[in-house]
Amino acid sequence: MAEIKGTLIPIGGAEDKGIDYIKNAKENSRFDFFEAGILRQIVKLVERQGAPKIELITTASSFPEKMEETYCNAFGKLGCKNMKHLFITHREQVDTEENLNRLKECNCIIFTGGDQLRLTSILGGTELLACIKRRYQEEPIVVAGTSAGAMAMGGTMIYDGNATRAHLKGEIKFSTGFDFISNVIIDTHFEKRGRFNRLAQAVAVQPGILGFGLAEDTGLIITGGNDIEVIGSGIITVLNGKNITYTNLIDIAERMPISVENIIVHILSQGEHFDLTTNQPARPGVS
């Protein structure tokens, strides 16, 4: 398979948007919004290909106009004036000539938060999604997603599962994601909403995939489809099930507590790297 030329940026949600009037806003991020915030990182990457031309896809959200206002304001503070809103709430709106032409002309696509199942059920199998994936694979475009928009990026997607019951068999519901990145499942708001057990069960059920739990205001820059760099103010948790030695999943009834032994766990913060070819943390430039 040819090397992927695009950049993928899943974000754990609640990224700093430079809204200084929110109480304790500066405490929510350890990095200056204008210099090192996640949205600034996106802008820097896009600017390598010229002036940013951003398309915002709010399909996951029940409040698309509010999302548009929020992100246009945030990126406007960073000097990006060319942000357009791809307003899609139903499948019949997706594959219009205008939408497809706009996606061919932009150099950044951002999926907002909301309901990831709504996002995939509306965009799945469309020419618009095929166009995004094709451009991501063949061109140096940036594709970012936050919260639900990040969860939809993997080949497998969690679409439901209450964290307080995530230790019970069958409480986690899965569907197919957009498959921008295969053999990966992404969970968001990971620390704040206590989702470790949820992701652990997902990996135990499918030990051939890697689980990435993204804290809020924390994300990944994935280049070449393999190299991952952590960005943002929090941590990411990586769960690898390849060495699982025992689980009771096949022996217990639905909604009984699960047991899983020997899951590999990595905790990484800003600037750390992870290699998807080896499934190990990496130190670029260090042999």
- Do residues 145 and 11 lie in contact, with contact meaning Cβ atoms separated by under 8 Å? yes
The active-site residue out of 68, 189, 229, 233 is: 189
Q: For residue 119, give Cα distances in angstroms to 124, 135, 160, 165, 278.
A: 8, 19, 14, 24, 31
Q: CA 167, CA 242: separation in Å to the nearest integer?
A: 20
- Give yes or no: 189 in active site: yes
- Give yes or no: 147 in active site: yes
- Do residues 87 and 58 lie in contact, with contact meaning Cβ atoms separated by under 8 Å? yes
The active-site residue out of 147, 171, 229, 233 is: 147
As a dihedral over the C-alpha atoms of residue 254, residue 260, residue 266, residue 267, rounded to 10 degrees, the angle is: 60
Q: CA 219, CA 213: separation in Å to the nearest integer?
A: 10
Quickly count helices (H) and strands (E) in the chain. Answer: 9, 17
Residues marked as catalytic: 147, 189, 216
